[in-house]
Structure 1
Amino acid sequence: MSRGTKTKLDLDKVIFIGRTYEEYMDMFMLSEGDLKGKKILDCPSGACSFAASGQLKGWNTMAADIAYDHPAEDLVTKGREDLQHALTHMKNAESNYIWDYFQDLNQLQEYRERALHSCIEDMNKNSERYLPVQLPALPFKDNDFDMVLSAHFLFTYADRLNLQFHLDTLNELLRVAKEELRVFPLVDLEGNRYEHLDHVIQYLKDNGCYVEEVKVPYEFQKGANSMLKVNKNH
């Protein structure tokens, strides 16, 4: 897919909000030792700054998202609009969140704006590291990445992504992962544990994976404090 070709999903239907590199390290319980010498894919990565910050630290990071089929200037506008919409919603539902990681809405806005700025700046400089994709299909070779990270997509949108889509997407993310896949969080937008998670875990185990639910040092949305860690080799 080239940048000039629109994907089936219009940009106005994509939520383009990002998390920072520091949030990723906590969400996925990563250390710099986990990343050193590894090739890592963030998918779908949205406006997150993990790939950009990772490259600055010397990691081999790549980002993939359906939104990357659109020009960077459009994504900046979209990101700012989505952030303001999210902040307005949070003002009316602050009790749905735990205000330990962020002091208040102002600090949250600062983090989100920093992630967006870092993502877009790197996209303009290193566009080859930002691939437009449409899950559950990826344009990468088998075992192309040592580790794949996937945040705030699978399980989160359980109201619009059915079980088969989850299984197909997990299969594809694992296909391109040589060693490991990590998925965060394990709850839907209402904070409920994904209703088919036990089925998903058993499915992955039946296909030869070692699967763990791991508590992580990050909780902003209430209940969103665990990741799924999937190793392809026992």
Structure 2
Amino acid sequence: MSKQGYEQIGVAMTCRSFDEYVRMFGLQQSDLERGPILDVAAGGSSYTAEANARGYSAFAVDPRYGTGIEEWIKEAKQEIETSTAKLAKAQDHFDWSYYGSLEQHRAGREASILRFAAHVKDPLAASHYKYGMLPELPFSDDQFSLVLCSHFMFLYADQFGYEFHIKAILELMRICKPGGQIRIYPLIALNWEPYPKLEQLMGLISQHGGRAEMLPSQLPFIPKSSHYLNIFA
């Protein structure tokens, strides 16, 4: 662990719960009821499983949703071990007011991957998980009313350049219904610094008929991660 930031090689397989999504994206019941909802780069998060259990129409897409399901579930469980060890070395940098402790944070990750694994392996739920990766997703135009992207887009700014982010944002706008919304969190990179070209991207969104604003997130944890990006398609 460096003095400033979180060390990560490659893209980690995230495992987060429905309640974490509600808090990080400021989700209201009216947002969820409009459906369908898409979780982009969803990893091993249980949001889709929990949302459908609550009666909402939710789907997930990720490059790992191809073959080898048991292998990438195993990968996600290993990532929990790895990330917990990293967090243990830098606990003082994080805000634990939501999670309570490192142990509870880990328990939440473990519960999320278990819910995810049960859902994704259920034949009746298989259609809710699609293989695909930004900047090209396997969906038709104007398909989703709400598109969510957690802990991927700007977090890996050092690995994915500005051109990728342009293409990715435009792709999310393509699959979002007119009047729908796209929400992205966090707006910082792994070095805990704000994404440096956010204003340019917001201007690009405006040029393509959308509108973007930064809104407060209610999931305190990562330093300087107090807002999410809300895009009105």
Match of 2:83 in 1: 86
CA shift in 2, pair 1:210/1:14, >3 Å: closer
Q: Is the 8 A contact 2:38 2:61 kept in 1?
A: yes
Unaligned 5+ runs, structure 2:
1-8
Pairwise mapping of residues 95-174 of structure 1 onto structure 2 (< 5 A)?
95-125=92-122, 126-174=125-173
Q: In 2, Cα distance between the equivalents of 1:51 and 1:127?
A: 11
Give the secondary structure class of the aligned counterpart of 2:213. Answer: strand
- Is residue 175 of structure 2 the alignment partner of residue 176 of structure 1? yes
Give the secondary structure class of the aligned counterpart of 2:72. Answer: helix
Give the secondary structure class of the aligned counterpart of 1:67. Answer: coil
Unaligned 5+ runs, structure 1:
1-11
1:79-106 Cα offsets, whole Å, 9 max, x none, are: 1111100011111111221111111111
Match of 1:6 in 2: none
Q: Could you tell me the TM-score, scaled by structure 2's length? A: 0.92
Shift of 1:37: 3.8
Match of 1:16 in 2: 13
Give the secondary structure class of the aligned counterpart of 2:38. Answer: strand
Q: In 2, Cα distance between the equivalents of 1:105 and 1:81?
A: 16
Q: Is the 8 A contact 1:156 1:187 kept in 2?
A: yes
Amino acid of the residue matched to residue 16 of structure 1?
M
Aligned-pair RMSD on alpha carbons?
1.3
Give the secondary structure class of the aligned counterpart of 1:205. Answer: helix
Match of 1:216 in 2: 217
Aligned-residue sequence identity (percent) comes to 27
Match of 2:208 in 1: 207
Shift of 1:71: 2.5
After TM superposition, the structure 1 stretch with the greater mean CA deviation from structure 2, 154-163 or 13-22, is 13-22
Q: Is the 8 A contact 2:94 2:222 kept in 1?
A: yes
Q: In 1, Cα distance between the equivalents of 2:196 and 2:133?
A: 24
Q: Is the 8 A contact 2:14 2:151 kept in 1?
A: no
Q: How many residues align?
A: 221
Q: Could you tell me the TM-score, scaled by structure 1's length? A: 0.91
Q: In 1, Cα distance between the equivalents of 2:185 and 2:225?
A: 8
Q: Is the 8 A contact 2:24 2:185 kept in 1?
A: yes
Q: Is the 8 A contact 1:14 1:67 kept in 2?
A: no
